[in-house]
Structures are given as C-alpha cells and as structure tokens.
C-alpha cells in the first residue's frame, strides 16, 4: 500500500483563502502578538523538510538508561497472533534509538524554543478570550465553497463540546456521531501537558437502522458489540434491550426475554447490519472517528474544562477490511521496512488524506495564522501517520475506543472527574501511578515541574498515598495558571505556523531531549523495559 512520496497540491486556494482572513483581524491582534510574514513558516504542499516526520518528538527523549516513556507506544505480545490484531511487536524500540540515518537528527526544533517572553505579552484575560472563541462553526461552509473533496465536518455545535450531545453521547443534530468517555493515553494527551481532547465514533447507516428506520437501541447494541470485540471481552453490559423485538438472543441463554442488560459475543451485527460479520479487533468498513484537540479551558469556578477553540480536528475513516492473512503480511512488511531503515511513505489521496496501509484514510485540520481551521499540509499530515500506522500498542491503529469506560457508563462526553486510575489489563497497579514510576515525571521529557512538585517528594520519591487517593481529573489536569501559560505558549506556534517543527507545548527550552542521537549510546537497561502493558484497562 505504500509508494514513493509525491508532494501533490490539494486545494491550495483553500489554504490561501484561510490565511487571508480579514474580518475581526484587529480584534485578534489585540489578543495575540503579531508576527511578521517573513517570520512565519511557509505552509506548502511542495516541500517535505523532514522525511522522518512520522517519528514523534518524544522518541528523542533522554532515557539515561532508566526513564522509560517508550513502553506506551512500543510493545511485544508473545501470543499476539492469537489474541491481538496488532502483530508488530516493536518492543525493541523502547529506548533503543533505532532510527534511519535521517531520523537520528531531531527535527522538532520547537522543543528548544523559549516562549517566556512571548507569554509575557499576553494577559490571562486575552488568552481566555482567545480560547473561548468558536473557530469550528465556519469550517464546513468554507470547505464546501472551495469544493473540498475530503471529509467535511457535519456535527453542529461541536464547539460547545458536551452540549452537542445527549446524556448517552448521541449527537443532538441527527448526525449520529457518538461521544464516549475514555481514559486519556499517558501522557501527551493529559491536559497538564497542554491539550484537552475528545473522540467521537460513527458507524455506517446500516449499523444504525432496523428495517430502514433509525433505531437507537440497534445502534448502541452494535457499538457495544464492537467494543466487546476490540477489548476481547467475554461479555459487556448494555442498555436494557427487548430481545423479542429484535428476535436475537443477545445474552446466549437460549431464550428471548423482554429486558436483558448483558451482551455476549455474536457472529454478526444487529439490525440492517445483521449480515455483517464481527471481525476480531477490527472496525467494520465505513467506521469514522473524529478527534478534536483543544486548548486547556478554565471556567469561572477555576475548573479545567474543554473550551470552544480547537487546535486541531482529526479524522479517520475505515475504507477497507483486512483478512487475517493480509494483516499478517502487512505487519511482516512493516518489520522488514524498519530493519532496512526505509523511509516512511504513504499513498496520498489528496483531500481525503493519507492511507495508512491498513485500511484507514487519515486527514486533519489545524489553526492558521488567524486562528481559523485549515487543511493540514502534506508534511503536517505525515506527523499523524507514525502513531496510526506503525506502532505495536494500537488496536486496529486506534487508541481511545479500547480505553473507553465499559458499557453504558462509557457513552457520553469525556469526563475525567470521578474516574479511577484503572490499571492496564496486563499488570497490577494504577496505570498513571506506574507511568510516574517508570518515567520519573509527568511527561515524556520529565519537564513538567508542576507534576513533579505535586506527586513527587523533594527527594524524588512518589507520594503513593496521594496518587492512589486521587481521581484521574486530579492526577492529570494542571492548575488554572499553568493551563493559561500553556495556552499562551502554543499560540507562539500558531502565529509562526511552524507546526512542522513540533506541536508540543513547552514554555521554556527542554533539557532532557537529544538534538542528535548517537546510536552507540547504551539503550534502556533490561530492568527498565516493560513487556507487561496493554492500552486496554481493567475497570473492575
């Protein structure tokens, strides 16, 4: 599925239109410092400066043979062929710095930018005003006006976050997007490190209907059956279901009952998708994910919330299901390419995004200089492909749905309050607690001073009791002041449009990061490596 990269132009007029935003410009300049055009990075589909753009910034962290954030992405599962869709087994990348010659140089130069002076130019009120502006609602109209051929966001009021959904997470505008509550993956998507987010799923029309009519019951049964497969569960709780109406014995007890709340494995889906087979740990063809990455909001009660403004809008669609033999062959090819240090290349479907080689098309939008969302450039999209194509920890190349709060309680907009630090299914102990132990900090770069002072003693020891008595919200959200400073720092990237040099939000230059990797340096010690971790969680 891979080919040599051809940097194709796609809707450059749309990119230019987005950058020529005039209405409200004076108001925006009152909120954020201006940056002269000569100081901005050119947004181009004609250049690829970093041929290893799929290698993320955290891969350049200094492990010092001890600190291991790598295990979250790179894993080995001895019985993977029998229990997991993902057979990559890239455990050897934990702290090994196994890069191509080009990859040894750290191209993510934004990690070393000092933004403290920039932050001083923006008041707290200015950044609050900025992140509480809606930069989503006009995107669809602008895309349609430019005859955009890719995904056009179709969820109304998405800028309002939770208010766009009912209590079950079903979109209020009949677009059939479903929000679900999940535990953020350590630690890039922890709010304390600079972003809030949410993830939505939508199944194709025949998964939502019964005899040609929308059925909420059928839709959530199919979502539950998918969850059961992705997580490899023996059973799962579901919303009360009348088996006599759907004529299916969903709890496999040999009889049809009027009220059933347990779903057991099934060979096929429900409703008008009754002829579609349930593929093990694989989403059905036509499945869509929409993922908003946002600033860190602070409400009037000084609580950390999801604000209106989006940093990015990311989108995935499954356009092909793979057979077991095809999956095996593709992972064999991926391992071979890594060994031979081949540079990553992907089929480019232009407006529709990149094909990851495993049946998904991936695309995204990001803020332009004026804060409006625009299509990501070729190189900016390459950034997304590393995590959604070639790491061992994903399930069908996704993260969030496998980390969903199980059953009906997990349908609804993301809410970290009251969520416990559930362990991985593969090992005991709170997942966040174990991450702190292995990384010796609250992010990959061990640069989050607030996390260090909050959960570690002056001697560097973990405050285990405090961690075990905290919920996920307390564990991974920043203080309001840190949230504002992180937001201010990210606008430096927005105004310079230099995403191709990194999107991580750091205020001061990072120290625990290699500018160039010496591949002869010792890797992680054996005792610091982790083979017993799985992104799926034990919520019991």
Neighbours of 323 (CB within 10 A): 10
| pTM, entire model | 0.94
* Residue 382 reports pLDDT greater than 90: yes
Return the minimum-mean-pLDDT range out of 40-49, 215-224, 330-339: 330-339
pLDDT for position 377:
97
Q: Which two tokens stand for residue 28?
A: 């925006």
Query: Which of 57-66, 70-79, 241-250, 308-317 has the lowest average pLDDT?
Result: 70-79
Q: Is the pLDDT of residue 172 over 80?
A: yes
Arithmetic mean of pLDDT, 351-359: 95
The pLDDT score that the predictor gives to residue 76 is: 81
Give me the residues paired with residue 421 across strands.
Answer: none
Instruction: Give the position of tokens 């040099």.
Output: 501
Owner of token pair 């947004």: 43
Listed residue (332, 392, 474) closest to 73, CA to CA: 392
DSSP for 285-354?
Answer: TT-EEEEEEE--EE-TTS-EE--S-EEEEEEEEE-----HHHHHHHHHHHHHHHHTTPPP--EE-GGG-E
Condensed to tens digits (0 to 9), the pLDDT of residues 202-214 reads 999 999 999 999 9
List, for residues 494-518, the tens digit of each pLDDT value.
Answer: 999 999 999 999 999 999 999 999 8
Q: Which residue has the higher pLDDT, 12 or 134?
A: 134
Res 79: pLDDT: 63
Which of 338, 441, 385, 324 lies closest to 91 in space, CA to CA?
Answer: 338
Q: Is pLDDT of 3 > 50?
A: no
Residue 367's H or E segment, with its range, is: strand 360-367
CB neighbour list of residue 491: distance below 8 Å, 6 or more residues apart? 32, 118, 122, 127, 130
| Residue tagged 């009027």 (tokens) | 258
Q: With 50 as the cut, is the pLDDT of residue 58 above it?
A: yes
- pLDDT bin (cut points 50, 70, 90) of residue 520 is confident
Tokens of 387: 């995590």
CA–CA distance, 444 with 95 (Å, rounded to integer): 12
CA 469, 71, 509: angle at the middle one, nearest 5? 85
pLDDT tens for residues 257-285?
999 999 999 999 999 999 999 999 999 99
196-202 and 178-179 beta bridge pairing: antiparallel
Q: Which tokens go with 498?
A: 């230099």
**Averaged pLDDT, 142-158:** 98
Whole-number pLDDT of residue 82: 58
Say how far apart CA 492 and CA 58 lie, in whole Å: 20
Cross-strand partners of 105: 516
Q: Phi first, then psi: give them for residue 347, nearest 5 degrees.
A: -70, 130
13 has pLDDT over 80: no
pLDDT range class, residue 16, cuts 50, 70, 90: very low
Res. 490: pLDDT tops 80? yes
State mean pLDDT over 230-254: 97
287-322: pLDDT as tens digits: 999 999 999 999 999 999 999 999 999 999 999 999
Look at residues 128, 137, 142 and name the one whose alpha carbon lies nearest to residue 173: 137
Q: Which of 326-335, 404-413, 463-472 has the lowest mean pLDDT?
A: 326-335
Nearest to 196 by CA among 206, 188, 208, 204: 188
pLDDT of residue 196: 98
Residues present in the chain in total = 540
pLDDT at 24: 62
Q: In which band, very low, low, confident or very high, does the pLDDT at 136 lie, cut at 50, 70 and 90?
A: very high
Question: What are the phi and psi torsion angles at 201 (to 5°)?
Answer: -125, 150
* pLDDT, position 89: 83
Cα→Cα distances 96→90, 204, 449, 518, Å: 11, 41, 26, 11
What pLDDT is recorded for position 80? 54
Six-digit token pair at 269? Answer: 């889906």
Average pLDDT, the chain: 92
d(CA 126, CA 376): 26
List of residues 6+ apart from 270 with CB closer than 8 A: 210, 218, 221, 222, 225, 246, 248
């Amino acid at each position: 599925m891979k080919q040599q990269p051809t940097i194709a132009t796609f809707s450059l007029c749309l990119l230019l239109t987005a950058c020529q935003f005039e209405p409200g410009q004076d108001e925006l300049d009152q909120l954020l410092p201006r940056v002269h055009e000569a100081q901005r990075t050119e947004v181009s589909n004609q250049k690829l400066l970093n041929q290893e753009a799929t290698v993320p910034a955290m891969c350049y962290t200094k492990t010092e043979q001890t600190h291991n954030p790598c295990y979250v992405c790179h894993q080995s599962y001895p019985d993977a062929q029998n229990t997991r869709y993902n057979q990559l087994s890239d455990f050897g990348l934990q702290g090994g710095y196994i890069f191509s010659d080009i990859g040894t140089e750290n191209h993510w130069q934004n990690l070393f930018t000092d933004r403290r002076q920039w932050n001083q130019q923006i008041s707290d009120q200015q950044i609050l005003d900025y992140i509480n502006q809606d930069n989503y609602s006009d995107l669809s109209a602008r895309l349609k006006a430019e005859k955009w051929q890719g995904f056009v966001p179709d969820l109304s009021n998405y800028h309002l976050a939770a208010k766009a959904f009912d209590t079950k997470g079903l979109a209020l505008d009949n677009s059939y997007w479903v929000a679900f509550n999940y535990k953020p993956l350590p630690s890039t998507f922890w709010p304390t490190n600079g972003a809030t987010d949410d993830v939505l799923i939508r199944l194709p029309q025949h998964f939502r209907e019964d005899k040609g009519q929308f059925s909420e019951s059928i839709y959530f049964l199919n979502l539950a059956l998918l969850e059961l497969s992705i997580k490899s569960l023996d059973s799962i709780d579901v919303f009360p279901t009348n088996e006599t109406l759907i004529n299916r014995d969903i709890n496999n007890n040999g009889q049809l009952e009027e009220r059933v709340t347990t779903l057991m494995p099934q060979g096929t889906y429900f409703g008008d998708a009754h002829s579609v087979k349930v593929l093990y740990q694989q989403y059905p063809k036509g499945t869509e994910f929409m993922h908003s990455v946002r600033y860190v909001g602070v409400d009037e009660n000084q609580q950390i919330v999801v604000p209106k403004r989006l940093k990015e809008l990311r989108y995935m669609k499954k356009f092909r299901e793979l057979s077991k033999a095809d999956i095996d062959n593709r992972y064999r090819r991926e391992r071979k390419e890594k060994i031979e240090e081949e540079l990553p290349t992907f089929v480019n479907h232009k407006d529709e995004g990149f094909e990851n080689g495993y049946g998904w098309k991936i695309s995204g939008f990001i803020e332009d200089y004026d804060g409006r969302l625009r299509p990501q450039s070729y190189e900016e999209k390459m950034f997304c492909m590393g995590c959604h194509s070639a790491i061992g920890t994903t399930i069908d190349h996704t993260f969030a749905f496998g980390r969903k709060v199980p059953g009906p309680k997990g349908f609804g907009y993301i809410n970290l309050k009251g969520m416990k630090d559930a362990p991985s299914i593969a090992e005991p102990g709170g997942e966040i607690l174990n991450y702190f132990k292995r990384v010796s900090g609250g992010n990959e770069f061990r640069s989050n001073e607030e996390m260090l002072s909050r959960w570690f003693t002056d001697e560097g020891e973990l405050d285990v009791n405090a961690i075990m008595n905290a919920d996920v919200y307390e564990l991974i959200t920043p203080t309001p002041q840190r949230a504002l400073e992180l937001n201010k720092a990210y606008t430096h990237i927005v105004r310079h449009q230099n995403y191709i040099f990194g999107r991580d939000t750091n205020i001061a230059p990072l120290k625990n990061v290699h500018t160039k990797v010496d591949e002869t340096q010792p890797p992680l010690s054996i005792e610091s490596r982790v083979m017993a971790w799985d992104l799926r969680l034990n919520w019991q």
